[in-house]
A = this chain, B = another copy of it.
Amino acid sequence: MPGNTFGKLLKITTFGESHGPALGGILDGLPAGIQIDLERIQRELERRRPGQSPLTTARKEADQAALLSGIFEGRTTGTPIGFTIPNADARSGDYSHNEANYRPSHADYTYDAKYGMRDHRGGGRSSARETAARVVGGALARQFLEQLYPQGPMPAVSAYVERVQDIAMPSPPAYHAPERVDAHPVRCPDPETARRMEERILEVKKAGDTVGGTVVVVARHIPAGWGEPVFDKLHADLAKALWSLPAVKGLELGSGFSGTLMRGSDHNDAFTSASGHIRTATNHSGGIQGGISNGEDIVLRIAFKPVATILAEQETVNRAGDAATIAGRGRHDPCVLPRAVPMVEAMVLLVLADHALRQRSARL
Which one of A43-51, A55-63, A291-299 contacts B?
A: A291-299
Within 8 A of B (CB), among A76-96: 76-82, 84
Q: A33 with B271: in contact, given A80-B13, A82-B15 (CB under 8 Å)?
A: no
Q: Is A154 an interface residue (CB 8 A)?
A: no
Can you list 18 A-B contacts with CB-CB less than 8 angstroms, sorted by A residue number? Answer: A4-B79, A6-B231, A22-B68, A33-B116, A34-B364, A79-B125, A79-B229, A104-B280, A113-B295, A125-B229, A130-B230, A212-B262, A235-B243, A237-B240, A239-B242, A264-B309, A270-B316, A276-B321
Contact check, B289 vs A110: say whether CB atoms are below 8 A apart.
Answer: yes
Any chain B CB within 8 A of the CB of A225?
yes
Residues of B within 8 A of A6 (CB): 231
**In the complex, the 5 A-B pairs of residues with the closest C-beta atoms, listed nearest first:** A107-B290, A3-B228, A15-B82, A3-B232, A210-B264
CA of A31 to CA of B82 in the docked complex: distance in angstroms?
A: 24
Give Cα A77 to B361, complex, Å: 12
The complex places the Cα of A223 from the Cα of B32 at a distance, in Å, of 18
Q: Choose, from A172-180, A183-191, A253-261, the stretch at the interface.
A: A253-261
Interface string of A296-319 (1 = CB under 8 A from B): 000000011111111010111100
In A245-284, the 8 Å CB interface with B consists of 246, 248-257, 259-265, 267-273, 276-278, 280, 284
Instruction: Confirm or deny: A338 has a beta carbon within 8 angstroms of a beta carbon on chain B.
Output: no
A230-B130, A254-B249, A315-B271 known; A110 and B362 CB under 8 Å?
Answer: no
**Do A244 and B236 have beta carbons less than 8 Å apart?**
yes
CA A1 – CA B310 in complex, angstroms? 42
Instruction: Report if A209-B265 is in contact (Cβ < 8 Å); known contacts: A117-B77, A252-B303.
Output: yes
* Bound-complex Cα distance A352 to B336 (A): 29
A:188-234 near B, CB below 8 Å: 204, 209-214, 223-233
Of listed A3, A204, A232, residue having the most chain B CB within 10 A: A3
A26 touching B13 by the CB < 8 A rule?
A: yes
What 0/1 readout, one digit per residue, does chain A (63-74) give for beta carbons within 8 Å of chain B?
A: 000101110100
Say whether B310 contacts A33, CB under 8 Å: no
Within the complex, which residue of B80, B110, B268 is in contact with A14, where a contact is CB–CB below 8 Å? B80
A241 to B321, CA, bound (A): 34
B364 near A4: Cβ-Cβ < 8 Å: no
A residues 1-60 touching B (CB-CB < 8 Å): 1-11, 13-17, 20-26, 28-29, 31-34
Bound complex: CA of A119 vs CA of B69, how far in Å? 10
Residues of B within 8 A of A230 (CB): 3-4, 14, 125-126, 130, 244
Q: Does A75 count as interface, using CB distance less than 8 angstroms?
A: yes
Interface contact A77-B166, CB-CB below 8 Å: no
Q: Indicate if the CB atoms of B294 and A260 lie closer than 8 Å.
A: no
Contacts of A254 in B (CB 8 A): 249
Which of B5, B76, B212, B269 is close to A259, meaning CB atoms less than 8 Å apart?
B212
Closest approach, in angstroms, between the C-beta of A72 and any C-beta of chain B?
4
Nearest chain-B residue to A105 (Cβ)? B268
- Residues from chain B with Cβ under 8 Å of A25 in the complex: 26, 82
